[in-house]
Structure 1
């Protein structure tokens, strides 16, 4: 299909653990795969460290796809415990303070990780990038 670009591996981001890419760009938007704090089997650190790492991975994937944090229009965050929300919000604010995209945050049972974040962002025109 024309008009669709797939981004398999952004620098510094854990590789996909299944048959998918880290982001797909289509129709002027980039759709990211859920990002996690560390590759499976790696030490993730404190929850605050995990939030920083996950948002850093999200930023790297967006950059590889021609976008960035400032172009996010929607964030989906999945936390494993309600008591993580305060820490998540403090770190999230540092990353998203200027853009404040729409956001959904839910607590769910995750497969061996404490959080996962995906997003939808605009791919800006070349002159705006």
Structure 2
């Protein structure tokens, strides 16, 4: 059985998706972009600022179900410009704790957004230890 998670803290978009779905011990977080939840305005125009904001938005969603970023086991990231990879990696590394989740990064057109990040969290334990 799965449970829909809609976070009042995360950005609200008039699109047909859930912020996350809890399926058993896993929480699947929909792709988040670098927008400020209250205004839906982009949080800066750099890959660094948008990466940090997208990760913060994921953090808000996970917090609603009692999880942290350390519960994440897999990250998927889409970059508008693959040449932003070094700056994306630096911002990502500054926000996430080691040992890092597994990760896939690809390039695709995202319209006005520089990055979109989704995540899979495992509720019973954190990376490198137990909850």
Measured against the shorter chain, the TM-score band is 0.7 to 0.9
2:41 aligns to what? 42
In the aligned structure 1, how far is the partner of 2:102 from the partner of 2:31? Answer: 16
1:92 aligns to what? 92
Deviation at 1:7, TM superposition (A): 1.1
Structure 1: stretches of 5+ with no match in the other structure: none
Contact 1:71 1:99 in 2 (8 A): no
Q: TM-score, normalised by structure 1?
A: 0.85
Alignment of 1:1-129 (within 5 A): 3-11=1-9, 13-38=10-35, 42-45=41-44, 46-124=46-124, 129=131
In the aligned structure 2, how far is the partner of 1:99 from the partner of 1:16? Answer: 32
Structure 2: stretches of 5+ with no match in the other structure: none
Mark the CA change 1:16 to 1:41 in structure 2 (over 3 Å): closer, same or farther: closer
Q: TM-score, normalised by structure 2?
A: 0.84
Aligned length: 124
In the aligned structure 1, how far is the partner of 2:95 from the partner of 2:51? Answer: 10
RMSD across aligned positions (CA):
1.9
